Structure 1
Protein backbone atom coordinates (compact mmCIF):
# COMPACT_ATOMS: atom_id res chain seq x y z
CA UNK A 1 0.00 0.00 0.00
CA UNK A 2 2.49 2.59 -1.20
CA UNK A 3 1.66 6.30 -1.03
CA UNK A 4 -0.58 5.89 2.02
CA UNK A 5 0.42 9.40 3.12
CA UNK A 6 0.41 11.11 -0.27
CA UNK A 7 -0.24 14.85 -0.02
CA UNK A 8 0.28 15.05 3.74
CA UNK A 9 2.56 17.59 5.39
CA UNK A 10 4.30 15.83 8.28
CA UNK A 11 6.64 17.24 10.90
CA UNK A 12 8.86 14.69 12.63
CA UNK A 13 10.87 15.76 15.66
CA UNK A 14 13.99 13.85 16.65
CA UNK A 15 14.36 13.06 12.95
CA UNK A 16 18.15 12.74 12.88
CA UNK A 17 18.33 9.42 14.74
CA UNK A 18 16.49 6.44 16.16
CA UNK A 19 12.71 6.17 15.98
CA UNK A 20 12.34 9.69 14.58
CA UNK A 21 14.72 8.92 11.72
CA UNK A 22 12.86 5.70 10.99
CA UNK A 23 9.52 7.54 10.93
CA UNK A 24 10.83 10.31 8.68
CA UNK A 25 12.24 7.78 6.18
CA UNK A 26 9.08 5.65 6.10
CA UNK A 27 6.75 8.66 5.85
CA UNK A 28 8.70 9.93 2.84
CA UNK A 29 8.49 6.49 1.23
CA UNK A 30 4.72 6.59 1.73
CA UNK A 31 4.39 9.90 -0.13
CA UNK A 32 4.40 12.46 2.67
CA UNK A 33 6.23 15.78 2.58
CA UNK A 34 8.38 15.50 5.71
CA UNK A 35 10.03 18.32 7.64
CA UNK A 36 12.43 16.88 10.16
CA UNK A 37 13.49 18.80 13.27
CA UNK A 38 16.39 17.93 15.55
CA UNK A 39 19.24 19.58 17.40
CA UNK A 40 21.39 19.03 14.32
CA UNK A 41 21.37 17.04 11.11
CA UNK A 42 17.71 17.62 10.19
CA UNK A 43 15.79 19.89 7.81
CA UNK A 44 15.44 22.39 10.67
CA UNK A 45 17.89 22.46 13.56
CA UNK A 46 16.26 23.58 16.81
CA UNK A 47 16.34 22.92 20.54
CA UNK A 48 12.81 21.72 21.29
CA UNK A 49 13.18 22.49 24.99
CA UNK A 50 13.64 26.16 24.08
CA UNK A 51 10.31 27.96 23.76
CA UNK A 52 11.48 30.66 21.35
CA UNK A 53 13.41 28.28 19.10
CA UNK A 54 10.49 25.85 18.93
CA UNK A 55 8.03 28.62 18.13
CA UNK A 56 10.27 29.99 15.39
CA UNK A 57 10.70 26.56 13.78
CA UNK A 58 6.98 25.88 13.61
CA UNK A 59 6.13 29.41 12.49
CA UNK A 60 8.51 28.85 9.58
CA UNK A 61 6.85 25.54 8.67
CA UNK A 62 3.31 26.92 8.87
CA UNK A 63 4.25 30.00 6.85
CA UNK A 64 5.75 27.82 4.12
CA UNK A 65 3.18 25.02 3.98
CA UNK A 66 0.02 26.60 5.40
CA UNK A 67 -0.87 23.61 7.56
CA UNK A 68 0.48 20.57 9.39
CA UNK A 69 -1.33 17.29 8.77
CA UNK A 70 0.82 15.07 10.98
CA UNK A 71 3.01 15.85 13.98
CA UNK A 72 5.29 13.04 15.15
CA UNK A 73 6.83 13.97 18.51
CA UNK A 74 9.76 11.55 18.54
CA UNK A 75 12.38 13.84 20.11
CA UNK A 76 13.32 12.82 23.65
CA UNK A 77 16.25 12.39 26.00
CA UNK A 78 16.59 10.97 29.49
CA UNK A 79 19.01 10.25 32.31
CA UNK A 80 18.94 6.68 33.60
CA UNK A 81 19.84 6.35 37.27
CA UNK A 82 18.60 4.68 40.44
CA UNK A 83 16.60 6.75 42.94
CA UNK A 84 19.44 6.95 45.47
CA UNK A 85 21.90 8.22 42.88
CA UNK A 86 19.66 10.45 40.74
CA UNK A 87 20.18 14.16 41.21
CA UNK A 88 17.44 16.75 41.00
CA UNK A 89 19.19 18.16 37.95
CA UNK A 90 19.04 14.77 36.20
CA UNK A 91 15.37 14.39 37.16
CA UNK A 92 14.47 17.82 35.76
CA UNK A 93 16.62 17.25 32.66
CA UNK A 94 14.72 14.04 31.94
CA UNK A 95 11.26 15.53 32.47
CA UNK A 96 12.20 18.36 30.11
CA UNK A 97 13.45 15.80 27.61
CA UNK A 98 10.32 13.67 27.84
CA UNK A 99 7.55 16.25 28.41
CA UNK A 100 8.69 19.68 27.21
CA UNK A 101 9.67 18.13 23.87
CA UNK A 102 6.03 17.11 23.42
CA UNK A 103 4.31 20.15 24.94
CA UNK A 104 6.28 22.90 23.18
CA UNK A 105 6.15 21.43 19.63
CA UNK A 106 2.47 20.52 19.96
CA UNK A 107 1.53 23.97 21.21
CA UNK A 108 3.55 25.63 18.45
CA UNK A 109 2.08 23.31 15.81
CA UNK A 110 -1.52 23.72 16.99
CA UNK A 111 -2.51 26.52 14.56
CA UNK A 112 -1.14 24.46 11.67
CA UNK A 113 -2.90 21.32 12.90
CA UNK A 114 -6.18 23.23 13.16
CA UNK A 115 -5.66 24.54 9.63
CA UNK A 116 -5.43 20.94 8.39
CA UNK A 117 -8.88 20.05 9.70
CA UNK A 118 -7.94 16.35 9.73
CA UNK A 119 -4.64 16.19 11.57
CA UNK A 120 -2.90 13.47 13.55
CA UNK A 121 -0.59 13.98 16.54
CA UNK A 122 1.55 10.94 17.31
CA UNK A 123 3.35 10.87 20.63
CA UNK A 124 5.57 8.23 22.15
CA UNK A 125 4.88 6.80 25.56
CA UNK A 126 6.67 3.55 26.38
CA UNK A 127 6.27 0.10 27.81
CA UNK A 128 7.95 1.80 30.79
CA UNK A 129 4.78 3.86 31.28
CA UNK A 130 3.06 0.61 32.31
CA UNK A 131 5.74 -1.59 33.84
CA UNK A 132 9.20 -1.49 35.35
CA UNK A 133 11.93 -3.58 33.74
CA UNK A 134 14.05 -5.50 36.22
CA UNK A 135 17.61 -4.18 36.13
CA UNK A 136 16.84 -0.92 34.32
CA UNK A 137 17.37 2.31 36.27
CA UNK A 138 14.57 4.19 34.52
CA UNK A 139 12.77 6.09 37.28
CA UNK A 140 12.62 9.50 35.60
CA UNK A 141 12.01 7.94 32.18
CA UNK A 142 9.02 6.00 33.56
CA UNK A 143 7.61 9.20 35.05
CA UNK A 144 8.12 11.16 31.85
CA UNK A 145 6.54 8.57 29.60
CA UNK A 146 3.61 8.14 31.97
CA UNK A 147 3.12 11.87 31.63
CA UNK A 148 3.11 11.65 27.84
CA UNK A 149 0.41 8.98 28.04
CA UNK A 150 -1.82 11.20 30.18
CA UNK A 151 -1.06 14.36 28.18
CA UNK A 152 -2.06 12.70 24.93
CA UNK A 153 -5.51 11.75 26.21
CA UNK A 154 -6.08 15.39 27.09
CA UNK A 155 -4.83 16.50 23.66
CA UNK A 156 -7.29 14.10 22.04
CA UNK A 157 -10.13 15.79 23.89
CA UNK A 158 -8.94 19.32 23.14
CA UNK A 159 -8.22 18.51 19.51
CA UNK A 160 -11.46 16.71 18.66
CA UNK A 161 -13.50 19.87 17.89
CA UNK A 162 -10.78 20.90 15.41
CA UNK A 163 -10.43 17.56 13.64
CA UNK A 164 -7.16 16.80 15.42
CA UNK A 165 -6.60 13.23 16.58
CA UNK A 166 -3.95 12.43 19.20
CA UNK A 167 -2.61 8.98 20.02
CA UNK A 168 0.43 7.38 21.60
CA UNK A 169 2.62 4.53 20.51
CA UNK A 170 4.24 2.68 23.41
CA UNK A 171 7.39 1.02 22.12
CA UNK A 172 9.13 -1.77 23.92
CA UNK A 173 12.91 -1.95 23.76
CA UNK A 174 13.92 -0.60 20.34
CA UNK A 175 17.45 -0.94 18.99
CA UNK A 176 18.77 2.61 18.40
CA UNK A 177 22.01 4.52 18.87
CA UNK A 178 20.90 5.55 22.36
CA UNK A 179 19.69 2.13 23.52
CA UNK A 180 22.86 0.49 22.19
CA UNK A 181 24.77 2.43 24.84
CA UNK A 182 22.25 1.37 27.46
CA UNK A 183 22.68 -2.27 26.47
CA UNK A 184 26.44 -1.95 26.75
CA UNK A 185 26.27 -0.35 30.20
CA UNK A 186 23.75 -2.65 31.93
CA UNK A 187 24.78 -6.29 32.44
CA UNK A 188 22.39 -8.79 30.81
CA UNK A 189 19.85 -6.09 29.95
CA UNK A 190 19.13 -7.69 26.58
CA UNK A 191 18.46 -11.02 28.28
CA UNK A 192 16.03 -9.36 30.68
CA UNK A 193 14.24 -7.63 27.81
CA UNK A 194 13.92 -10.83 25.79
CA UNK A 195 12.73 -12.78 28.81
CA UNK A 196 9.83 -10.33 29.12
CA UNK A 197 9.06 -10.26 25.38
CA UNK A 198 6.76 -12.78 23.72
CA UNK A 199 8.53 -12.03 20.43
CA UNK A 200 12.12 -13.01 21.14
CA UNK A 201 13.96 -10.18 19.43
CA UNK A 202 14.60 -6.50 20.01
CA UNK A 203 12.48 -4.02 18.11
CA UNK A 204 13.77 -1.87 15.26
CA UNK A 205 12.79 1.74 14.39
CA UNK A 206 10.85 0.53 11.36
CA UNK A 207 8.60 -1.56 13.62
CA UNK A 208 7.47 1.69 15.21
CA UNK A 209 7.44 3.66 11.96
CA UNK A 210 4.81 1.43 10.37
CA UNK A 211 2.49 1.93 13.34
CA UNK A 212 3.04 5.67 13.00
CA UNK A 213 2.15 5.49 9.30
CA UNK A 214 -1.11 3.80 10.23
CA UNK A 215 -1.94 6.45 12.84
CA UNK A 216 -1.12 9.22 10.35
CA UNK A 217 -3.36 7.78 7.64
CA UNK A 218 -7.10 7.91 6.98
CA UNK A 219 -7.23 4.28 8.10
CA UNK A 220 -7.37 5.57 11.69
CA UNK A 221 -9.81 8.43 11.23
CA UNK A 222 -11.90 6.97 14.11
CA UNK A 223 -8.92 6.39 16.43
CA UNK A 224 -8.03 9.02 19.01
CA UNK A 225 -6.98 8.98 22.64
CA UNK A 226 -5.59 5.49 22.12
CA UNK A 227 -2.31 3.92 23.17
CA UNK A 228 -0.86 1.31 20.81
CA UNK A 229 1.73 -1.03 22.37
CA UNK A 230 4.44 -2.10 19.94
CA UNK A 231 6.56 -4.07 22.37
CA UNK A 232 6.83 -7.68 21.29
CA UNK A 233 4.10 -8.58 23.76
CA UNK A 234 6.08 -7.41 26.81
CA UNK A 235 3.14 -5.70 28.49
CA UNK A 236 0.55 -8.31 27.55
CA UNK A 237 1.45 -10.77 30.31
Structure 2
Protein backbone atom coordinates (compact mmCIF):
# COMPACT_ATOMS: atom_id res chain seq x y z
CA UNK A 1 0.00 0.00 0.00
CA UNK A 2 1.31 3.44 -0.91
CA UNK A 3 1.74 5.77 2.07
CA UNK A 4 -0.85 8.35 0.92
CA UNK A 5 -3.24 6.18 -1.05
CA UNK A 6 -6.43 8.12 -1.93
CA UNK A 7 -5.56 11.06 0.32
CA UNK A 8 -6.76 14.38 -1.11
CA UNK A 9 -3.73 16.69 -1.16
CA UNK A 10 -3.81 20.37 -2.07
CA UNK A 11 -0.47 21.84 -3.14
CA UNK A 12 -0.05 25.53 -3.89
CA UNK A 13 2.65 26.65 -6.30
CA UNK A 14 2.64 23.33 -8.12
CA UNK A 15 3.87 24.86 -11.36
CA UNK A 16 7.57 24.64 -10.62
CA UNK A 17 10.45 24.05 -8.23
CA UNK A 18 9.52 22.45 -4.91
CA UNK A 19 5.80 22.50 -5.77
CA UNK A 20 6.25 20.57 -9.01
CA UNK A 21 8.37 17.99 -7.22
CA UNK A 22 5.71 17.75 -4.51
CA UNK A 23 2.95 17.13 -7.04
CA UNK A 24 4.92 14.29 -8.59
CA UNK A 25 6.04 12.63 -5.37
CA UNK A 26 2.65 12.85 -3.65
CA UNK A 27 0.95 11.42 -6.75
CA UNK A 28 3.47 8.57 -6.81
CA UNK A 29 2.39 7.74 -3.27
CA UNK A 30 -1.22 7.33 -4.36
CA UNK A 31 -2.55 10.75 -3.38
CA UNK A 32 -5.21 12.64 -5.31
CA UNK A 33 -3.31 15.87 -5.99
CA UNK A 34 -5.06 19.18 -6.62
CA UNK A 35 -2.67 22.04 -7.32
CA UNK A 36 -2.57 25.62 -8.46
CA UNK A 37 -0.04 28.17 -9.60
CA UNK A 38 0.07 31.86 -10.36
CA UNK A 39 1.31 30.92 -13.84
CA UNK A 40 -1.16 28.94 -15.94
CA UNK A 41 1.68 28.03 -18.30
CA UNK A 42 3.86 26.59 -15.53
CA UNK A 43 0.92 24.71 -14.02
CA UNK A 44 0.11 23.14 -17.38
CA UNK A 45 3.75 22.16 -17.82
CA UNK A 46 3.61 20.21 -14.55
CA UNK A 47 0.28 18.64 -15.51
CA UNK A 48 1.78 17.50 -18.82
CA UNK A 49 5.02 16.23 -17.27
CA UNK A 50 3.13 14.10 -14.75
CA UNK A 51 0.70 12.83 -17.39
CA UNK A 52 3.64 11.64 -19.49
CA UNK A 53 4.54 9.34 -16.59
CA UNK A 54 1.00 8.13 -15.96
CA UNK A 55 0.36 10.48 -13.04
CA UNK A 56 -2.42 13.02 -12.58
CA UNK A 57 -2.31 16.59 -11.31
CA UNK A 58 -5.72 18.21 -11.01
CA UNK A 59 -6.25 21.98 -10.98
CA UNK A 60 -5.19 24.76 -13.28
CA UNK A 61 -3.77 28.28 -13.26
CA UNK A 62 -3.65 31.07 -12.90
CA UNK A 63 -4.63 31.34 -9.25
CA UNK A 64 -3.50 34.24 -7.08
CA UNK A 65 -3.80 33.01 -3.50
CA UNK A 66 -2.93 36.47 -2.19
CA UNK A 67 -6.46 37.42 -3.26
CA UNK A 68 -8.90 36.00 -0.68
CA UNK A 69 -11.62 35.48 -3.27
CA UNK A 70 -9.33 33.42 -5.50
CA UNK A 71 -8.04 31.46 -2.51
CA UNK A 72 -11.59 30.67 -1.44
CA UNK A 73 -12.48 29.59 -4.98
CA UNK A 74 -9.48 27.26 -5.15
CA UNK A 75 -10.58 25.57 -1.95
CA UNK A 76 -14.23 25.44 -3.05
CA UNK A 77 -13.25 23.84 -6.36
CA UNK A 78 -11.27 21.14 -4.58
CA UNK A 79 -14.06 20.37 -2.11
CA UNK A 80 -16.67 20.31 -4.88
CA UNK A 81 -14.63 17.69 -6.75
CA UNK A 82 -13.28 15.57 -3.89
CA UNK A 83 -15.38 16.32 -0.82
CA UNK A 84 -12.59 16.98 1.66
CA UNK A 85 -8.97 18.08 2.11
CA UNK A 86 -6.74 15.54 3.86
CA UNK A 87 -3.48 17.44 3.43
CA UNK A 88 -2.94 21.12 2.71
CA UNK A 89 0.61 21.90 1.59
CA UNK A 90 1.06 25.69 1.63
CA UNK A 91 4.11 25.79 -0.60
CA UNK A 92 3.59 28.81 -2.86
CA UNK A 93 5.65 31.92 -2.17
CA UNK A 94 7.20 34.89 -3.93
CA UNK A 95 9.52 37.43 -2.36
CA UNK A 96 11.49 40.53 -3.22
CA UNK A 97 14.94 40.87 -1.73
CA UNK A 98 17.09 43.88 -0.95
CA UNK A 99 18.86 45.71 1.85
CA UNK A 100 16.63 47.71 4.16
CA UNK A 101 17.78 51.13 2.99
CA UNK A 102 16.81 50.28 -0.59
CA UNK A 103 13.71 48.24 0.21
CA UNK A 104 10.46 49.93 -0.80
CA UNK A 105 7.08 49.83 0.88
CA UNK A 106 5.77 48.14 -2.26
CA UNK A 107 8.45 45.43 -1.91
CA UNK A 108 7.30 44.84 1.67
CA UNK A 109 3.64 44.52 0.73
CA UNK A 110 4.43 42.30 -2.26
CA UNK A 111 6.37 39.87 -0.07
CA UNK A 112 3.93 39.76 2.83
CA UNK A 113 1.04 39.27 0.39
CA UNK A 114 2.73 36.40 -1.42
CA UNK A 115 4.39 34.64 1.51
CA UNK A 116 2.03 35.20 4.45
CA UNK A 117 -1.40 36.39 3.33
CA UNK A 118 -1.66 33.55 0.81
CA UNK A 119 -0.97 30.95 3.51
CA UNK A 120 -3.54 32.47 5.86
CA UNK A 121 -6.25 32.66 3.20
CA UNK A 122 -5.76 29.09 1.96
CA UNK A 123 -5.68 27.72 5.49
CA UNK A 124 -8.69 29.71 6.67
CA UNK A 125 -10.89 28.54 3.83
CA UNK A 126 -9.63 24.94 3.93
CA UNK A 127 -9.99 24.60 7.71
CA UNK A 128 -13.70 23.55 7.78
CA UNK A 129 -13.02 20.84 5.20
CA UNK A 130 -10.05 19.15 6.89
CA UNK A 131 -11.20 16.00 8.70
CA UNK A 132 -9.74 14.37 11.79
CA UNK A 133 -6.35 13.02 10.83
CA UNK A 134 -5.74 15.87 8.41
CA UNK A 135 -2.40 17.65 8.09
CA UNK A 136 -1.36 21.21 7.27
CA UNK A 137 2.22 21.62 6.04
CA UNK A 138 3.51 25.18 5.79
CA UNK A 139 6.68 26.23 4.00
CA UNK A 140 8.99 28.14 6.29
CA UNK A 141 12.67 28.92 5.73
CA UNK A 142 15.95 29.11 7.58
CA UNK A 143 15.38 32.87 7.15
CA UNK A 144 13.02 32.47 10.11
CA UNK A 145 15.96 31.41 12.27
CA UNK A 146 19.00 33.41 11.16
CA UNK A 147 20.05 36.51 9.30
CA UNK A 148 22.60 36.71 6.52
CA UNK A 149 24.86 39.31 4.96
CA UNK A 150 24.71 37.56 1.58
CA UNK A 151 21.46 39.26 0.56
CA UNK A 152 18.91 41.58 2.14
CA UNK A 153 15.75 39.73 3.16
CA UNK A 154 14.00 41.68 5.87
CA UNK A 155 10.46 40.98 4.62
CA UNK A 156 11.25 37.36 3.73
CA UNK A 157 12.64 36.78 7.22
CA UNK A 158 9.57 38.41 8.76
CA UNK A 159 7.08 36.38 6.75
CA UNK A 160 8.82 33.06 7.30
CA UNK A 161 9.19 33.75 11.02
CA UNK A 162 5.46 34.43 11.06
CA UNK A 163 4.77 31.17 9.22
CA UNK A 164 6.67 29.18 11.84
CA UNK A 165 4.80 30.94 14.64
CA UNK A 166 1.43 30.60 12.91
CA UNK A 167 2.04 26.89 12.47
CA UNK A 168 2.41 26.45 16.23
CA UNK A 169 -0.90 28.21 16.77
CA UNK A 170 -2.63 26.13 14.11
CA UNK A 171 -1.35 23.03 15.88
CA UNK A 172 -2.82 24.27 19.17
CA UNK A 173 -6.19 25.09 17.63
CA UNK A 174 -6.26 21.95 15.50
CA UNK A 175 -5.42 19.47 18.25
CA UNK A 176 -8.97 19.18 19.54
CA UNK A 177 -10.14 18.45 16.00
CA UNK A 178 -7.38 15.92 15.33
CA UNK A 179 -5.62 18.15 12.79
CA UNK A 180 -1.82 18.32 12.81
CA UNK A 181 0.12 21.37 11.64
CA UNK A 182 3.85 21.41 10.91
CA UNK A 183 6.28 23.57 8.96
CA UNK A 184 9.39 22.84 6.93
CA UNK A 185 12.26 25.33 6.80
CA UNK A 186 14.51 24.70 3.81
CA UNK A 187 17.96 26.19 3.49
CA UNK A 188 19.56 27.02 0.15
CA UNK A 189 17.54 24.94 -2.33
CA UNK A 190 18.02 24.89 -6.10
CA UNK A 191 14.77 26.29 -7.53
CA UNK A 192 13.75 28.85 -10.15
CA UNK A 193 13.38 31.35 -7.30
CA UNK A 194 16.99 30.94 -6.17
CA UNK A 195 18.43 30.88 -9.70
CA UNK A 196 19.59 34.56 -9.57
CA UNK A 197 21.59 33.85 -6.40
CA UNK A 198 23.11 30.71 -7.89
CA UNK A 199 24.11 32.65 -10.99
CA UNK A 200 26.00 35.16 -8.85
CA UNK A 201 29.17 33.28 -7.94
CA UNK A 202 30.07 35.49 -4.98
CA UNK A 203 26.59 35.28 -3.44
CA UNK A 204 26.41 31.53 -4.07
CA UNK A 205 29.75 30.94 -2.35
CA UNK A 206 28.72 33.05 0.63
CA UNK A 207 25.40 31.25 0.99
CA UNK A 208 27.11 27.85 0.76
CA UNK A 209 29.94 28.75 3.12
CA UNK A 210 28.03 27.57 6.19
CA UNK A 211 26.43 24.47 4.65
CA UNK A 212 28.13 21.48 6.26
CA UNK A 213 27.20 19.09 3.46
CA UNK A 214 28.75 21.53 0.95
CA UNK A 215 26.11 21.37 -1.74
CA UNK A 216 22.90 23.01 -2.83
CA UNK A 217 19.73 21.38 -1.63
CA UNK A 218 17.37 19.83 -4.16
CA UNK A 219 13.55 20.04 -4.16
CA UNK A 220 13.54 16.28 -3.54
CA UNK A 221 15.32 16.84 -0.21
CA UNK A 222 12.44 19.01 0.97
CA UNK A 223 9.68 16.80 -0.39
CA UNK A 224 11.09 13.68 1.25
CA UNK A 225 10.47 15.44 4.56
CA UNK A 226 7.01 16.61 3.46
CA UNK A 227 5.96 13.07 2.52
CA UNK A 228 6.99 11.78 5.92
CA UNK A 229 5.20 14.58 7.78
CA UNK A 230 2.03 14.00 5.76
CA UNK A 231 2.00 10.28 6.49
CA UNK A 232 0.63 8.35 9.46
CA UNK A 233 4.23 7.60 10.45
CA UNK A 234 4.40 11.20 11.72
CA UNK A 235 1.14 11.00 13.68
CA UNK A 236 2.78 12.22 16.93
CA UNK A 237 4.32 15.31 15.30
CA UNK A 238 2.58 18.67 15.40
CA UNK A 239 3.51 22.28 16.05
CA UNK A 240 7.16 21.79 15.12
CA UNK A 241 9.37 23.26 12.43
CA UNK A 242 11.60 20.82 10.55
CA UNK A 243 14.81 22.29 9.13
CA UNK A 244 16.19 20.86 5.87
CA UNK A 245 19.37 22.86 5.35
CA UNK A 246 22.43 20.61 4.99
CA UNK A 247 23.61 21.63 8.45
CA UNK A 248 23.55 25.40 7.89
CA UNK A 249 21.99 26.24 11.25
CA UNK A 250 24.47 23.97 13.03
CA UNK A 251 27.37 26.35 12.29
Q: TM-score, normalised by structure 2?
A: 0.90
From 48, 56, 60, the equivalent of 1:44 is 60
- 1:5-20 alignment, distance < 5 Å: 5-20=4-19
Unaligned runs of 5+ in 2: 44-58
Cα deviation, residue 224, structure 1 = 0.2
Q: Note the aligned Cα RMSD (angstroms).
A: 1.2
- 1:28-107 alignment, distance < 5 Å: 28-39=27-38, 40=40, 41-42=42-43, 43-45=59-61, 46-107=63-124
Structure 1 stretch displaced more, 33-42 or 77-86: 33-42
Segments of 4+ moved more than 4 angstroms: none
| Alignment correspondent of 1:215 | 229
DSSP 3-state at the match of 1:196: coil
| Alignment correspondent of 2:241 | 227
- 1:120-135 alignment, distance < 5 Å: 120-135=135-150
From 183, 190, 198, the equivalent of 2:198 is 183
| Alignment correspondent of 1:158 | 173
DSSP 3-state at the match of 2:209: helix
| 8 A Cα contact 1:44 1:57, kept in partner | no
Q: TM-score, normalised by structure 1?
A: 0.95
Is 2:122 the partner of 1:108? Answer: no
2:185 & 2:93 partners in 1: Cα distance?
Answer: 14
For CA contacts below 8 A with separation 6 or more, give which structure has more relative contact order.
1
From 144, 148, 173, the equivalent of 2:188 is 173
Unaligned runs of 5+ in 1: none
